[in-house]
Structure 1
Amino acid sequence: MQTGALRPCVLFLALCFAAEFGHSFQPAPASSSISSSSSKTRWCSNVKRTRLDASENTETGEGETWGGASPFIKARTTNAQPPLGVSRTALRAVENNSGIKSSGVGLFGRFGNINLGAGSNKHHAKGSVGGQKGVDLKTKTKNREAALTAEDEHELSKQIQILCKLKAKKDNLAAKLSRAPTDDEWAAVIGCSKKALLRQIKKSQVAKGKLVAANAGIVRVIAKNYENSGVVLADLIQEGNLGLLEAADRFNPEKGFKFCTYAAWWVRQRIGRSIAVQSRVIRLPVYVHNLLGTMAKTTRTMTAELGRKPTDEEVAARMKVPVSKLRMYAASSKHVLSLELPVSHRKDDKRTLSDSLTWDGADPVDNLEVEALRSELVNVMDELDDKEKLVVRMRFGLDDGICKTRPELAEALNVSRERARLIETKAINKLRHPSTSFRLKVFLSSLMK
Structure 2
Amino acid sequence: MNKPFPPSQMARKQTPRPEFLDAHSEARLAKCWRDDGDVAARNRLVTSHQALAIAATSRAGGKGRELDTDILQHANIGLLKAADRFDPDKGFRFSTYAAWWIRAEIQGYKIQSWSLVKLPNSASSRKLFYNLKRVESRLIAAGEVPPEHLVDRIASDLAVTPEQVVMMQQRLAAQDGSLNRPVGDDGGSTQLQDLLEDPDVDVEKEVCARLDSRAFWIKMSGYRGRLSKREQEIIIEIYVSETPKTLEALGERFGVSRERIRQIREAALTRLRASFAETTAL
TM-score by length of 1: 0.34
Whichever structure has more helix as a proportion of its residues is 2
Q: Work out which structure has the larger RCO, using CA pairs closer than 8 Å and 6 or more positions apart in sequence.
A: 2
